[in-house]
């Protein structure tokens, strides 16, 4: 995946840095699963991963940055579909987002990141960067639809993808209910109708994507 922001643990491709990152993220995931975010410390991650504590602080600086990087890693499992049509792409991506948010580990991680962002400006910036990057990557889906003539030329890709992802964020963070397959289908149908009607053009009121809109994770294949 081509990324706009280099993660703190990826200063060198491959080799020792890659092994260190894998060990740290695996340890972090295990710690979150066993003890939750409230009990998470850099010391716990260092002990479980076998990576020196000073290395963790030098590369990630805080548990919040570690958690945001783990979220980035997990979101790589959400592919960017290319079915040849906008309806097909939106439905496929909505289903993938539903699986992503429906996973218990991912759900707990997102809750932890949002909680961290509410109290720490650095964590908030990391979360915003994460969603901005994913929205930019997934925006290729909308740009292809515009090129095929399926959407108005001035459709804002980030606005479309933010609208697609927002119901999932609301479901797990606000309503506190599980994500079901019906949510993916209804969301894709609604966003498709709105996009075709020009609701997400740059001249429409309220357009514009970002983390606050519950942007859609995704990766470019």
Q: How far apart are CA 169 and CA 162, in angstroms?
A: 10
Q: What is the mean pLDDT of residues 95-115?
A: 84
Domain ranges of the chain: 15-61, 78-213
State the pLDDT confidence band at 215, using cuts at 50, 70 and 90. low
Task: Assess if CATH 3.40.50.1100 describes domain 15-61.
Answer: no
Give the tens place of pLDDT for each residue, 58-69: 999 888 788 878
Distance CA 200, CA 218 (A): 20
Q: pLDDT over 90 for what percent of the chain?
A: 48
- Token pair of 99 as six digits: 């699986």
pTM of the model: 0.74
CATH superfamily of 78-213: Tetracycline Repressor, domain 2 (1.10.357.10)
Q: Is the pLDDT of residue 7 over 50?
A: no
Q: What is the mean pLDDT of the chain?
A: 83
Nearest alpha carbon to residue 64 among 40, 85, 30, 97: 40
- Per-residue pLDDT, 13: 47
Neighbouring residues of 59: CB distance < 8 A, sequence distance ≥ 6: 8, 9, 11, 20
> DSSP states of the chain as a string?
---SS--TT-SSSSHHHHHHHHHHHHHHHHHHHHH-GGG--HHHHHHHHT--HHHHHHHT-SHHHHHHHHHHHHHTTSB----SSHHHHHHHHHHHHHHHHHSHHHHHHHHHHHHHHHH-HHHHHHHHHHHHHHHHHHHHHHHHHHHTTSS-TTB-HHHHHHHHHHHHHIIIIIS-----HHHHHHHHHHHHHHHHTTTTBTTSTT----GGGTPPP-B--
Residue 70 clears pLDDT 60, i.e. is over it: yes
- Cα–Cα distance, 199 to 162 (Å, whole number): 13
């Amino acid at each position: 995946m081509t990324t706009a922001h280099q993660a703190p643990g990826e200063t060198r491709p491959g080799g020792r840095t890659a092994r260190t990152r894998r060990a740290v993220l695996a340890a972090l995931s295990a710690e979150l699963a066993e003890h939750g975010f409230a009990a998470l410390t850099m010391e716990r991650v260092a002990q479980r991963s076998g990576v020196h504590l000073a290395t963790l602080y030098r590369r990630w600086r805080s548990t919040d940055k570690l958690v945001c990087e783990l979220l980035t890693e997990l979101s790589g499992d959400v592919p960017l579909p290319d079915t040849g049509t906008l309806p097909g792409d939106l439905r496929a991506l909505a289903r993938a987002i539903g699986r992503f948010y429906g996973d218990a580990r991912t759900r707990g991680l997102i809750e932890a990141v949002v909680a961290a962002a509410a109290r720490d400006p650095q964590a908030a910036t990391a979360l915003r960067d994460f969603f901005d990057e994913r929205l930019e990557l997934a925006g290729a889906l909308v740009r292809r639809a515009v090129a095929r003539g399926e959407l108005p030329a001035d459709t804002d890709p980030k606005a479309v993808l933010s609208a697609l992802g927002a119901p999932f964020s609301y479901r797990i963070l606000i309503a506190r209910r599980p994500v079901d397959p019906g949510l993916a289908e209804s969301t894709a149908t609604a966003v498709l109708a709105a996009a075709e009607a020009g609701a997400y053009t740059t001249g429409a009121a309220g357009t514009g994507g970002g983390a606050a809109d519950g942007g859609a994770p995704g990766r470019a294949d």
